[in-house]
Amino acid sequence: MSHKPVHASNLPKPVGPYSPGMSFDRLIFVSGQGATDPATGTLTGNTVEAQTAQCLKNVQAILQAAGSDLQHVLRCGVFLLDMTEFPKMNAAYMRAFGDHRPARTTVQVAGLPGDGLLVEIDAIAYRP
C-alpha cells in the first residue's frame, strides 16, 4: 500500500508545508480547511455559518479530487474560535451533510491561522 497527496487546481492553497489531503488505499485524510474561497484567495463571510459552509465546500473539493464526496466522510474535527457559535455552526454543518451523520469532535481553540477565521474543519473519508 502507498500514500499520495491529493492535488487539483481548484483546491484551496495550504497556508503551510502540508498537502490539502492525503490518500492511503481507499482512505482520504483532509487537512483542516478554513473558509478561504479558492477562486479568490479571500475569506468567505464574517459569520460562523458562512465560514462553515465554505470550509465544507473546501473539504468537498478535496474529497472529489480524490474520488470521494461528503457522503463518504467517516469523521470530522471542528475547531471553533468561540463555542457559543456552536448552534450556528451546527446548523450550517447539518445543511451540508443532510441525513449523513459522520462521527465528529468539536472543540474551542485559542486561535486559528488566518485573520477573521472563526472555524476550521478536517475530515477522514473513504473512496467508494
Question: How confident is residue 2, by pLDDT bands cut at 50, 70 and 90?
Answer: confident
The set of cell numbers assigned to 43 is 475569506
Predicted model pTM? 0.96
Question: How confident is residue 124, by pLDDT bands cut at 50, 70 and 90?
Answer: very high
CA dist list (Å): 24 to 44, 90, 101, 107, 125: 30, 29, 23, 26, 11
- Best CA proximity match to 57, nearest among 93, 108, 15: 93
The structural domains of the chain, ordered by start, are: 25-126 (3.30.1330.40)
Over the stretch 42-100, which tens digit does the pLDDT of each residue have?
999 999 999 999 999 999 999 999 999 999 999 999 999 999 999 999 999 999 999 99
Over the stretch 18-32, which tens digit does the pLDDT of each residue have?
999 999 999 999 999
